[in-house]
A and B are shown apart, each in its own frame.
Chain A
Amino acid sequence: MSAAVEISGLEFRYADGFRLGVASLRVEAGEHVLLAGGSGCGKSTLLHLVAGLEDASGGSIHVAGTAIGTLRGAARDAFRGRTIGMVFQTHHLLPGFSARENLLVAMMASSIPEADRGIRADMLLAAVGIDTNDRDRPADRLSVGQQQRVAVARAVAAHPVLVLADEPTASLDPANAGAAIELLRATCRAHGAALLCTSHDPSMRVRFDRVVDLEEWQGAPHASKGMGHSA
């Protein structure tokens, strides 16, 4: 079985000349990995590279066995849509769309039959605790906590192999942050998705299968954002 993510000799140069380097990183299918490190050490950039939102200047990234860098244009977008789910710090739900519609849009790129999508959306929203009454309300009118749960449900809606979570707890207090991470992990676990999550919160370390500390491996941030290897 291929790994959820396999990175080798990755290099990325920022516009200001800084360089992010990842010699090797492998996330197994279903594995939950925390990408730790302080602000500015390249955690979000690494997620964007894995998602194919940025192009690396060197090396390779394989997601579910596919070298995402070799995919171009619509093919890469479609691959991302059906293989990778994403959760953001500010949730990034589609404004004007209901919670249910946010999930349905996420399923557009998937191979889930059209007829099953509504049922799946309802099931996922129920699983994250969104009441029936709230499912058809515009997502931007839900509470912050509800929006976060909808974002988690949306991340697994297309039945992805991998979920990338970029500082999903940054704006939450410790109690809610812990609950949010547990919800995210439980949801990914329930759907068999690997999780690569960034956080600068040290309290998150104990909650993951494995921790990759970008800051520790590369030395001082902004000097050279190089990263060693983690098996």
Chain B
Amino acid sequence: MSDLSIVLRSLRTRLLSTTISVASVAVAVALLLVLLSLRESATQAFRRGSGNAHLMVGADASPLVVVLNGLFYANPPSRSIPHAKAQEIRTSFPWAWSVATQLGDSYRGSPLVATEPALFTAFEPVAGRPFQFRTGAAFDRPFQVVVGAQAAAMHGLRVGDKIVTTHGSWGSREGGHQHENHPCEVVGTLEPTGSAHDRALFTALETSWVIHAEERLEREEASHTGEADGDAHADDAGHDHDHGHIHVEVADLTDEDRLVTDILLRLPTRPGSDASAAMQSQYDRLRRDPTITVAQPAQEVGRLFAIVGSIDEILLAMALAVLVSSGIGILLSLYNSMEMRRRHIAILRVLGTSAGRVFGMVLAEAAIIGLLGAVGGVLLTLVAGSVAAELVEARVGLVLDSMPPVRTVIAVVAGSVVLAMLAGVLPAIRAYGTPIVRHLGAID
């Protein structure tokens, strides 16, 4: 028999009260950890996903929307950049590299990014870490696709598989009409990057241009022959398509077909440096063009966090308040139990237990409640965090950790134990001062 076994027995004797106290700490700790985890990993995932592009040009209404749609695939961009404008931008400065993308199509809800092979060599989704191929290689002609790691796992795609892409319909396995005349072959799969790019599929710009050129021509022909009303259906953008047999070659594409939704740009930098002296001047220059929207991806991600930062702080404050209230719960539980346990304490004192040891035992009880609650909270976080991470991954495509860094977990667990011990101080003082004789029976 030791002080610890007395403490454990005391907790077991008050099983219901102990369980409620432990559960309240566990919920508070889990809430705090999930929030910290989501905050930490969302920050990292967004920062990771913005990659090494210095600037990004799109036609959406605001720079933040350009970044969210173009790099994080939140929604298909609503407007495109004409070919001539895209060429003008790409040749207006000796960029280190520029990569154009055309977004809008999908495969079973996963975004299809029509782009250039340079995306796999020049663009780094995580700064310093370019795309790595798990199997196969980059596309080298139209109607070939490279599949992001999460999309490959989600759809069970492997090199050699044939897929039919869909117009629009991001985030949904239903809807949109399928480009059945142009099945695409999977030629490569990517290693995970921990960013939104993992849930995307990539194909050549010409794939998208040819498909949509054919559809445009078919629409035009249908309207000429008066068949449009009987054989067409509406797509997401409100255009009419039919399924005639017009065949378009890449060489037949006009500037009207060669639309892009975004252009990723990187300025020349000195070796070992990510910054460019020309950054601000080029940003300002491009901003003066009212037909396009220019964004600095890293800055927009920072702005996004500034916007959600206050909400984030409120949520954290609420989680801390829940933790403190669970500490108050421990205090009340222990304090109220002291009234019933005074005889118990008096007996321990008669049997040779000092007041200091009794004080320590009550503090140990509180600490154990805090520790059990914190451990329970960590376990709860593993479950709740993974559910939350799955939801975010499915909705936004960001890979989030279900648990914050170990250092944070240790700090929260230690904080919970300290808070519980603080909550135990008042009951411990009450136990320390228990008058022995009064609780052994009437003085004769």
Q: Please give the residue numbers on chain A whose beta carbons come within 8 Å of chain B beta carbons, in ascending order.
A: 14, 39-45, 48, 51, 53-54, 73-74, 77-78, 80-82, 86, 88-90, 92-97, 101, 104-109, 117, 154, 158, 166-167, 198
Tell whether, in the assembled complex, residue A96 and residue B356 are in contact, meaning their CB atoms are under 8 Å apart.
Answer: no
Contact of B351 among A14, A109, A167 (CB under 8 A): A109
* Chain A residues with CB below 8 A from B12, complex form: 96
Knowing A96-B13, A101-B1, say if A48 contacts B437 (CB, 8 Å).
yes
Tell whether, in the assembled complex, residue A40 and residue B444 are in contact, meaning their CB atoms are under 8 Å apart.
Answer: yes
Contact of A86 among B343, B350, B355 (CB under 8 A): B350
Contact of B350 among A39, A53, A101, A104 (CB under 8 A): A53
Knowing A44-B443, A45-B443, A198-B444, say if A77 contacts B354 (CB, 8 Å).
yes
Tell whether, in the assembled complex, residue A44 and residue B444 are in contact, meaning their CB atoms are under 8 Å apart.
Answer: yes
Q: Can you list 6 A-B pairs with a CB-CB distance of less than 8 A?
A: A44-B442, A80-B352, A81-B351, A81-B352, A108-B1, A108-B353
* Chain A residues with CB below 8 A from B437, complex form: 48, 53-54
B212 within 8 A of A: no
Tell whether, in the assembled complex, residue B13 and residue A78 are in contact, meaning their CB atoms are under 8 Å apart.
Answer: no
Knowing A45-B444, A107-B1, say if A78 contacts B348 (CB, 8 Å).
no
CB-CB contacts of B1-16 with A at 8 A, as 1s and 0s? 1100010011011000
Q: In the complex, A129 Cα to B354 Cα: how many Å?
A: 31
**In angstroms, how far is the closest chain A Cβ from the Cβ of B346?**
8
Q: In the complex, A48 Cα to B444 Cα: how many Å?
A: 10
B357 within 8 A of A: yes
Contact of A77 among B6, B9, B347, B353 (CB under 8 A): B353
Most chain B beta carbons < 10 A, residue from A78, A89, A96, A117: A96
Q: In the complex, A81 Cα to B6 Cα: how many Å?
A: 16
* Chain A residues with CB below 8 A from B2, complex form: 108
Q: In the complex, A39 Cα to B440 Cα: how many Å?
A: 16
* Chain B residues with CB below 8 A from A74, complex form: 354-357
Q: In the complex, A198 Cα to B441 Cα: how many Å?
A: 14
B344 within 8 A of A: yes
**Can you name 9 extra interface pairs (CB under 8 A) apart from A44-B444, A48-B437?**
A41-B444, A53-B350, A53-B436, A88-B441, A93-B347, A105-B351, A117-B1, A166-B441, A166-B444
* Chain B residues with CB below 8 A from A78, complex form: 352, 354
Number of A-B residue pairs, CB cutoff 8 Å, is 89
Tell whether, in the assembled complex, residue A77 and residue B1 are in contact, meaning their CB atoms are under 8 Å apart.
Answer: no
Tell whether, in the assembled complex, residue B350 and residue A80 are in contact, meaning their CB atoms are under 8 Å apart.
Answer: yes
Q: Chain A: which residue is nearest B352 at the CB level? A: A81
Q: In the complex, A158 Cα to B350 Cα: how many Å?
A: 12
Q: In the complex, A166 Cα to B356 Cα: how many Å?
A: 26
Tell whether, in the assembled complex, residue B350 and residue A51 are in contact, meaning their CB atoms are under 8 Å apart.
Answer: yes
Most chain A beta carbons < 10 A, residue from B1, B348, B353, B436: B1
Q: In the complex, A212 Cα to B370 Cα: how many Å?
A: 53
Q: Chain A: which residue is nearest B6 at the CB level? A: A105
Q: In the complex, A166 Cα to B440 Cα: how many Å?
A: 10
* Chain B residues with CB below 8 A from A117, complex form: 1
Tell whether, in the assembled complex, residue B1 and residue A88 are in contact, meaning their CB atoms are under 8 Å apart.
Answer: no
* Chain B residues with CB below 8 A from A53, complex form: 349-350, 436-437, 440
Q: In the complex, A144 Cα to B375 Cα: how many Å?
A: 42
Tell whether, in the assembled complex, residue B352 and residue A109 are in contact, meaning their CB atoms are under 8 Å apart.
Answer: yes
Tell whether, in the assembled complex, residue B441 and residue A94 are in contact, meaning their CB atoms are under 8 Å apart.
Answer: no
Contact of B354 among A40, A44, A51, A73 (CB under 8 A): A73
Tell whether, in the assembled complex, residue A73 and residue B13 are in contact, meaning their CB atoms are under 8 Å apart.
Answer: no
Q: Which 3 A-B pairs have the closest CB atoms?
A: A81-B352, A109-B352, A44-B444
